[in-house]
A and B are shown apart, each in its own frame.
Chain A
C-alpha cells in the first residue's frame, strides 16, 4: 500500500530561523494535505496541495507530483509554530495515509 515518509523526524530551531520539512510518498497521490497539530492535540489543515506551490503567511508548500514529494517551508519561525506537522496523501480510493510527522520546537 501507499507509504509516506517525512523528514526530519524532529527539528529544533531558534526563533527567526527557517525550516524545511519534507514529505516523500511511494505511489502517485491525487491529493496531498499538510496538517499542523497543536501541542494540545488539535489538528489544523494548513494546505491542500496536490501539485504546485501555495503560500499562506510565512508558510509555503511545494508539491512535485511526478517526483512524489512535497515540502513545507516555514520562514522566520516563531515559538507558536512549535508542534507536529503531518503530510497525508490519498488516491482515487479516498483512503488517506499519514506520515509519522515532523516534531518542531522553536526556542525563544
Chain B
C-alpha cells in the first residue's frame, strides 16, 4: 500500500506566525496534493503538483504557498498565519497506476490562536 507521511501531526501557532507543513511519499507518485478539511466543507484543494518544481493552484490557495522540492517531498507554507487557517490539513499522492487513485497521509491539525 502507498505510504504518505506528514509532519508535524499537530501544530499550534499564533496569528502572524510562520508555519511549514511537510509531506513525503515513497511510492514514486507524480502527483501530490494539499487539502484542508473544515466542518461543513469536506476537503478542499489548496495546491497540487505533478512533479519536482511544479505547482498548480487549487480551489482555496489564498494565504498559502507550496513547494515541491523533489518527487517525494511537498511542503505547504503559511507565512502569516491567521485564525481562519485553523484546520485539518491532508496531503495526498497519486500516480499513473489505477488511473490516479489517491492515497492520503494521516493529517496535520493546525491551530492558529
Interface, chain A (partner B; CB < 8 A): 1, 30-31, 33, 35, 41-45, 48, 50, 86, 88, 90, 94-101
Q: With A94-B31, A94-B50, A96-B33 known to touch, is A45 a contact of B102 (CB < 8 Å)? A: yes
Count: A-B pairs, CB below 8 Å: 55
**Bound complex: CA A10 to CA B80 (Å):** 36
Q: In the complex the two chains form, what is the Cα distance from A43 to B91 in whole Å?
A: 11
Interchain CA distance A43-B6 in the complex, whole Å: 13
Give B32-48 as 1s and 0s: 1 = Cβ < 8 Å from A's Cβ atoms: 01010000111111001
Asked if B107 and A94 sit within 8 Å, CB to CB, the answer is: no
- Contact A95:B100 (CB < 8 A) given known A41-B107, A43-B90, A100-B40: no
> B42–A101 contact, CB under 8 A?
yes
Question: Which of B31, B43, B50, B59 makes the CB contact (< 8 A) with A86?
Answer: B43
Interface of B with A (CB < 8 Å)? 31, 33, 35, 40-45, 48, 50, 56, 58-59, 88, 90, 92, 94, 98-104, 106-107, 109
Query: A interface, by DSSP: helix, strand, loop or mixed?
Result: strand
Q: When the two chains form their complex, are residues A100 and B58 in contact, meaning their CB atoms are under 8 A apart?
A: no
Report whether A45 and B103 are in contact in the complex, using a CB–CB cutoff of 8 Å. yes
Most chain B CB atoms below 10 A, which of A44, A88, A99: A88
